[in-house]
Amino acid sequence: AQSVSQHNHHVILSEAASLELGCNYSYGGTVNLFWYVQYPGQHLQLLLKYFSGDPLVKGIKGFEAEFIKSKFSFNLRKPSVQWSDTAEYFCAVNGGSSNTGKLIFGQGTTLQVKP
Amino acid sequence: DVKVTQSSRYLVKRTGEKVFLECVQDMDHENMFWYRQDPGLGLRLIYFSYDVKMKEKGDIPEGYSVSREKKERFSLILESASTNQTSMYLCASSPLTSGANVLTFGAGSRLTVL
């Protein structure tokens, strides 16, 4: 069965610090990978996605993620965080060639950015 | 602005009550999903549907049922609510085609069962 593991449950950073949130998945075949974000009081929304091609994907608000197939990882990065990045971040995977929309989510990482 | 609307943002129910959570999307999406979100557990799939009157169990369907009588509406039903069903419930939808894996979420329904 597919699973997703996010290593950091709660991260606290100061503004301008660099961010890296870890995400590992277990599935041996073709995968679609996602990062979703939930800002306080708002809907869960897509931050970025990887389907194929360039393993370094860029998303909204300066976020990027790198797919490393050999490590089964899809870590999220941002060079310099802002207070407005305070949110909960979820990594998700859809394994296989199916286009079902059925995603497996990680446990989530709460990011708190101090001004 | 396209959206997924969950009719109830906050509900408080008693143990044993029947609970209906309603979800409507205006994007003509074929796929609809119900997840529950719990701290430290992330989102877990309860049920999903690819078409009207069609449903499939997700990872944690026990204690829940669903109904999809119209394409735009997907209801989650708790036949007899229990305290361990206190949670945030998220509805989502996606198209059947290449964008199927990009979900649009509703604002969530926070259910407390006393």
**Residue A27: pLDDT over 90:** no
A11 CB neighbour count, 10 Å cutoff: 16
DSSP H or E run through A11: strand A10-14
Categorise residue B50: left if φ over 0, alpha if ψ from -120 to 50, beta otherwise: alpha
Residue A28's pLDDT band, with cuts at 50, 70 and 90, is confident
Q: Which of A44, A47, A57 to mutate to test the interface with B (most CBs of B within 10 A)?
A: A44
The whole-number average pLDDT for the span A36-64 is 93
- Best residue of B101, B104, B105, B109 to probe chain A, by most A CBs closer than 10 Å: B101
pLDDT at residue A97 is higher than 60? no
CB atoms within 10 A of CB A29: 8
Task: Give mean pLDDT, residues A88-114.
Answer: 86
Q: Please state, in angstroms and rounded to a whole number, the distance separating the CA atoms of residues B5 and B7.
A: 6
Distance CA B2, CA A115 (A): 33
Tens of pLDDT along B7-56?
Answer: 889 999 999 999 999 999 999 999 999 999 999 899 999 999 988 988 99
Of B11, B76, B25, B91, the C-alpha closest to A44 is B91
